[in-house]
Structure 1
Amino acid sequence: MCLFSTNLFAQRAIIAPATLGPNALPIPEIKTGKLAKDFNLKIAYENHTSKGDDTQNAFIELSIPVVSNKVALVLSVVPAEYYTLDSETLEIRNITNGTASGNAGGDIYVGTHIQILKDKNSLPDILLSIDLKTASGTNTESARYTDAPGYIFDLSLGKDITTNTSVLESIRPFAMAGFYVYQTNRTDFRQNDAILYGAGVDLNFKKFSFTTSYGGYKGYIDDGDKPKVLRSTLRTRFNSIINYEIRLGRGFGSNFYDAVRLGLNINLNFINTLF
């Protein structure tokens, strides 16, 4: 009966960012063209708010260098989220078998990031990223996740510009383009092939960095599949195992959510010395 209920929801629900929870089809991180060099664990709390959906969740991301400065494996997941919906949102999303409040577990993302080009005088750094979204998310009957896989392919470019000031060490403009492909469970459009885009700038100071980026993706079905986001992130750059970050996000287009992230970045490079 549970499987039958979930299948009915999949058939009548609109699988698009405008009609799902904030973690179902999120806008990927706008990458800077540079591979993360550290063995790093990110643990964060996130709060997403919209007119009819209030969601809090944990977020975990593990970045594992496979080939130093060349290839990294990136795993991420929302292990638990808690949500509250109003009656209007329940009706818009056609949620009849789900609940107005509850919890869910998110999809696992598995990514391979490859540094194609780096540290060339006249050329930007180039990073290729291939990410797989699994179908591990739960509570699809409440429109929290899609219960279907997805794929993200993107190429990002960036270049450090060294400054001659004692306060600001460098400025890094960057841009990204690619594709975001996800299944829709529709009979007329089996999947949505969205164009992924983004750009921003990274300001690196001695003890912290400040990053602002704008991006999103644009699907071809036009069913609420054009989310956009403006993100600003402040990170510390202490010479220590633990660093901190705060990120603010403002949604546009099909993204109705504003978001806050409070996170810890834990350097795990010391594990390499144990082997």
Structure 2
Amino acid sequence: MKSLYLLSAFLCTQLFSSQVLIHHTTNYFGPNANPVPEFTDALISQNTNVTLIGDYYFGHGDNTFSNNVKVEIPLIPEKVSVKVWKTLIEYYSVTDEIVSRRSMQKNNGFATGDFYIQTRIRILSEKKNSPSLVLNSTLKTASGSDFKNRRFFNTAGYYFDVELGKSFVFDDSFIDEIRLVSDFGFFSWDVQTPNINVQDDAVMYGLKFILKHKNISLENTFSGYGGWIKRVEDYGNKPMVFSSRLNFELRKTLWFLQFQRGIKYFPFEQIRVGVQIPLENLTPKFFDKK
């Protein structure tokens, strides 16, 4: 009986020691796994919008091509909306060093991302001496693929944040409008370990500065989040990013080009191109008096 007990203890020890401790952070996964949440200009659209995005992430040993589709449907125009988005597919190619660092099984391949579902509620309307305030509630599902190659987490997450925005309009000036937006919230996601599941909780934050001239605008955004878990020196659940995005509106359709740089714990640079298409005919008319 004693020999059987010792054998069982040995096997259990070998089982747990052979399991790899996975770091669920942006520093050990692909760029679309748990990125810094994006935030808007603290406004809710009047019409349904579909946004098509193409991304190229490069540098630091990981090259990733991906696309993303976002759909925002206003249930009450400019007051309440539902937004969903997903990385439909990504192609990645990484160096041997990255394979070893992340405990991946191969250097390249395809993966598909998580579904995000968000509700947006306008709490305050913008007035002459007061800003607009929008509350977002977002769920990240554990629907991404290729966890074994560290492309997407196999756990769910969620976040709550508020966007605060105020515009300053100028007459007889090259700059028609300056808009300032801030974002603050709580971000949480599950982290699996060999013995127990825990939750990494983080404070998320962001600042956005928008310059507008007729149908052209330039957005500069600084954002990030900071979690509490720290296993190793470069664990990396405190990513920070900075992005510049140029928007061009043509016949109500918005085209944009963006460059994003990872400042800390987000080892990727990004080039993004996209288009936002309004679909007025697909906008719900729940409160249409007609």
TM-score, with structure 2 as normaliser: 0.86
State the match for 1:268 in structure 2: 279
Question: Rg bigger for which structure?
Answer: 2
SS at match of 1:237: strand
Using the TM superposition, give the Cα deviation of residue 274 of structure 1 relative to its aligned residue in structure 2, in angstroms.
10
Q: Which residue of 1 aligns with 2:125?
A: 118
Aligned to 2:249: 237
Q: Which runs of 5+ in 1 are unaligned?
A: 1-7
Q: Match for residue 6 of structure 2?
A: none
Q: Any idea what the Cα deviations from partners look like across 1:87-123, whole Å, max 9, x if unmatched?
A: 111111122xx22100000001000011100122322
4+ runs deviating over 6 angstroms? none
Which SS does the other structure have where 1:159 is aligned?
strand
TM-score by length of 1: 0.91
> Residue deviations 1:50-108, cap 9 Å, x none?
3111000011100111111110111100000000010111111122xx22100000001
The answer (yes or no) to whether the contact 1:30–1:215 under 8 Å persists in 2 is no
**Cα RMSD for the two superposed structures:** 2.0
Change (3 A) 1:102 1:162: same
1:166 Cα offset (Å): 4.4
Aligned residues: 265
**Distance in 1 between residues matched to 2:260 and 2:119, nearest whole Å:** 25
**Cα pair 2:47 2:283 within 8 Å, conserved:** no
SS in structure 2 at match of 1:41? strand
1:22 partnered with 2:31: yes
Paired position in structure 1 for 2:237? 225
Q: Name the CA distance, whole Å, in 2 between partners of 1:10 and 1:60.
A: 35
Secondary structure, aligned partner of 2:88: coil
Q: Which ranges of structure 2 fall in alignment gaps of 5 or more residues?
A: 1-16
SS at match of 1:89: helix
Where do residues 89-108 of structure 1 align in structure 2 (5 Å cutoff)?
89-95=98-104, 98-108=105-115
Q: Which moved more, 1:49-58 or 1:115-124?
A: 115-124
- 2:181 counterpart (164, 174, 185): 174
Residue deviations 1:4-58 (CA, integer Å, cap 9, x gap)? xxxx998621111100000000111133322233311011110011311100001
- 2:116 is matched with which residue? 109
Report the AA paired with residue 178 of structure 2. I
